[in-house]
A = this chain, B = another copy of it.
Amino acid sequence: MSETPIPEAVAHQTAHFPEGLALDCGALVSPLDVAYRTYGTLNAAKSNAVLVCHALTGDQYLAETHPVTGRAGWWQAIVGPSRPLDTDRFFLICANVLGGCMGSTGPASPMSPGSDRLWGTDFPNVTIRDMVRAQKKLVDHLGIERLLAVVGGSMGGMQVLEWAATYPRAVFAAAPIATAPHHSAQNIAFQEVGRAAIHSDPDWRGGRYWEEPGLVPAKGLSVARMVAHITYLSEQALTRKFGRRLRGAPALTFLEDVFEVESYLRHQGSTFVRRFDANSYLTITRAMDFFDLAEAHGGELSAAFQGTPTRFFVASFSSDWLFPTSESRALVRALNRAAANTSFVEIASDKGHDAFLLEEPEFHAALGGFLNGAAERLGV
C-alpha cells in the first residue's frame, strides 16, 4: 500500500500562531496551525458562535463534502436551517484538533517551517486540554469572547468538558454527548490493541514511515480502525446490518472473507488509511486515554465545575457500551454537586456509540431545544 494519506491539493482554512503553544507535558509546539471551517454568519455582537468539537477520527469538515473521501460531513445530519445546529441562527466553528492530520499542527507537520523533517514520533504528547487551548487561540483570533455553546460527542465531548472546566466564562452552554469524564480501562485496552497493531506494522518503521514518500503503515492502521469500529456499534446494530449472513458462495475457504461483517470491517479499515495519519492516531488515542478530569481537580470531579456559570446538556445512548449511560450519570451527579444548571437525557437507541452521528430524532429535538433555549436566553 503506498497511498499518500492526505492529498497535497487540499487547501485548509488555517489560523497561524507563530508564537506556538506550550503543552501540558512542558514542550512548546511552535509555530501552531489550527485548521478550521465555519458555517453560518457571526452576528455583530459576536454572541452566536457555537464551537463543535470532533471525535477521534473526525475533522473540521463538519457539514460539507469531505475533500479527501468525497463523502458528506460527519455531522451534516444536524447542521443547516431549522436543524439543531441551525446555520440561520448560529455561527458554527469546527477545528481540526491539535495532533490531527487535516491541517492543524500534528505529527505529520514539519518540525520547523519549510523543513522536510516531520515531527513523526517526536511530536510531543498532547492532552485534551492542549487541544482545547489550541481551539481557544482560534476563538480569540476570531474575536469571540464568549461562545454561545460548545458541542461535541465522544472525544469531542471530552473537549466540551475541558472547555467548561478551563474557560467557564467563555462557555455559556455546553453539550457533552456520548462521552465520559475519563477513559475507562476497557477503552484504554481497546485503543492499546489499535496502537499495538500500528507498532507491529513494519511499514510503520518505528514511526519514521514519512521518510519514504507515500509509505504508510496501512495494515496496522487498518486493523486499528477495525477494532475501533466494532466498539462504535452495538451488538444489535452489527446483527441488524449483517447477522451471520454469508458472502457469496457457501464454500468454506481458508483465507477469504466469508461473512459480510468481515468484508465490511476490512473495507472500513482500508478506506480509513487513505485519510488518516498513523502517528496522529497514536497521538490522539493517547490523549483520550490520559483524559481524567477528576484527577486533574484533586480527585473530585465536581471541583472541575464548582461555581460554574455554564449550563449543561448531557446526553447518552442506551446501547452505547463504549461510553455507557452510567458514565454520563456520574458526570451529571458531579455537575449536580457543583450546583450547575444541568439537563440530562438518555436516548433509547440500539445503534451503539455511533448513534450520536446518526438519525436519532429524539436526540436532535433535545439538542436543538437546548441550543435554542440558550440562544433565547442570550437574545440571539
Contact = CB atoms under 8 A, between A and B. Distances in A.
Contacts of A183: 244
A262 interface: yes
A158 to B, nearest CB: 14
A259 interface: yes
Contacts of A200: 197, 200-201, 219-220, 222-223
Contact of A185 (B25, B121, B125, B242): B242
A290 interface: yes
A242 B184 CA distance: 10
A282 interface: yes
A235 interface: yes
Contacts of A199: 255
A269 interface: yes
A258 interface: yes
Contacts of A227: 190, 193, 227
A262 B188 contact: yes
Given A125-B254, A220-B200, A244-B182, A259 B192 contact: yes
Interface of A: 24-25, 121-125, 182-186, 188-190, 192-193, 196-197, 199-202, 207, 219-220, 222-223, 226-227, 230, 233, 235, 238-239, 241-244, 252-255, 257-259, 261-262, 265-266, 269, 282-283, 286, 289-290, 292, 295, 321
How many copies of this chain? 2
A173 to B, nearest CB: 29
Which interface residue of A223, A235, A241 has the most chain B CB atoms within 10 A?
Answer: A223
Contacts of A253: 125
Nearest to A198: B223
Contacts of A124: 252, 254
Contact of A192 (B197, B207, B226, B241): B226
B269 A196 contact: yes
Given A182-B244, A244-B182, A244-B183, A238 B189 contact: yes
A219 B219 CA distance: 13
29 contacts: A24-B252, A25-B252, A122-B254, A125-B254, A183-B244, A184-B238, A184-B239, A185-B239, A185-B242, A185-B244, A186-B235, A186-B239, A189-B238, A189-B261, A192-B257, A192-B262, A192-B265, A192-B266, A193-B230, A196-B223, A196-B226, A196-B265, A197-B200, A200-B223, A202-B202, A244-B295, A254-B286, A258-B289, A258-B290
